[in-house]
Structure 1
Amino acid sequence: MTIKIILAVIIGGVVGFFVPDSFYAATDVLLTIGLCLLLFFVGIDIGKNKNVMRDIKRSGRLFFLIPLGVAVGSLLGAIGVGFLLGYPINESGAIGSGMGWYTLSSIIIAPYSSELSVLAFLTNVVREVFAIALIPIIAKHIGFIEAIAPSGATAMDTTLPIISRNTNGETAILSFSTGLILSTMVPILVPLFLFK
């Protein structure tokens, strides 16, 4: 599945060179429809688990600790790499605050700096591609809970099917809630880092 997804991205990139500019207006609608269908079928998969509420209650503190750990790790990693590359803490922190949500974080950062906006977009896209490639490996060799971390905010949408397929129902529910919590943090944290 991971290879198919990466191949689809590569083929899409190649096809994008030959598609007329007039087609790009329709891609937004097609992406929204595709994402809605994807989430609908993931919802069906989660719904098959009749013990959803029991699994949420059983997860206990993990319900909040997983998104907190992913957020702290994302920020520390971004700030550490930013320091090595010579970026100020506020700029590298803003990029890390995107948590993989490349569209929103780059839009929030754009008024501050177009260069930083492009960097945030690319960084978070690469994070998602790495997540797609690494989730099956992490789930198999390290653990189900740890497989949620690479996704960041996308753990509730684009990478959720991969997590669901490679883990179990309880982990899929934790993944969805982690992505939801991280997604709500993005519009708060990104401006906090940039606009002191």
Structure 2
Amino acid sequence: MTYIIILSVLVGIGCGYFVLPPEVVSSMDQVTSISLFILIFLVGIDIGGNKKLFEDLKKLGLKVLIIPFGGVVGSLLGGLIIGTIFSMPMNEGLSIGSGFGWYSLSGVMLKELGGDTLGAIAFLSNVFRELLTVILIPILAKKLNSYTAIAPAGATSMDTTLPLIAKATNSEVAVVAFINGVVLSSLVPILVPFFYNIF
């Protein structure tokens, strides 16, 4: 599955650059959104069809929040470490890390807070996180365990990477992934300005 994903991305880049006219490329956002909604709808049907799943989730209780908590800590530490390596101020490294993969929001927020360069760095770091996640999901699910496939996805585990997580794992993990995405997505608009303005 990983090879198919990588090949699809490369073929898509080639088509966008060499084959498709700019008018078609500019309307890809709408096509992508519709396709994503259909995929999420189908994942929802799969999850809803598993009656035992919701009983199992009730048993887990607050343990479901361990993955988002770990995702927050890992992303912030990563932002802090990489920011230090590149001699960035601590607040910028933390605010970029608190984008949790939501490139469209965190990039815009940090552009307004810290300027074009910081916005571009936030945008690109979160885009690369999502691309790397797409490649890693099947590998992590197979080599480690199903739940480790959720963490790299960050906020995208409730939308763009949810179908991949569901395919590489199972319905229970897909529900946990969705919860993880909801929690992290809710934190992005709070933590990005908080960390930027804290120091």
Which residue is 1:70 aligned to? 71
Q: Distance in 1 between matches of 2:43 and 2:21?
A: 33
Whether 1:6 aligns to 2:6 is yes
- The aligned amino acid for 1:137 is I
Contact 1:79–1:92 (CA<8 Å) still a contact in 2?
A: yes
User: How many correspondences in the alignment?
Assistant: 196
Tell me which protein shows more helix as a share of its residues. 2
Alignment of 1:86-97 (within 5 A): 86-97=87-98
- State the shift of 1:24 in Å: 4.5
Gaps of 5+ in 2: none
- State the shift of 1:82 in Å: 0.8
- The aligned amino acid for 1:161 is P
TM-score (normalizing by structure 1): 0.92
- The aligned amino acid for 1:44 is I
Q: Distance in 1 between matches of 2:45 and 2:6?
A: 24
Cα displacement string for residues 77-98 of structure 1 (whole angstroms, at most 9, x for unaligned residues): 1111110111111111111111
Among 171, 174, 189, the alignment partner of 2:173 is 171
Cα displacement string for residues 91-136 of structure 1 (whole angstroms, at most 9, x for unaligned residues): 1111111101111111111112111111111111111111111122
Secondary structure of 1:171's aligned partner: helix
- The aligned amino acid for 1:129 is L
TM-score (normalizing by structure 2): 0.91
Runs of 4+ in structure 1 off by over 4 angstroms are none
Q: Distance in 1 between matches of 2:42 and 2:174?
A: 13
Secondary structure of 1:61's aligned partner: helix
Among 121, 134, 139, the alignment partner of 1:132 is 134
- RMSD, matched Cα: 1.6
Which residue is 1:186 aligned to? 188
Which residue is 1:54 aligned to? 55
Gaps of 5+ in 1: none
Contact 1:6–1:129 (CA<8 Å) still a contact in 2?
A: no
Q: Once the two structures are aligned, what percentage of the paired residues are identical?
A: 46
- State the shift of 1:195 in Å: 3.2
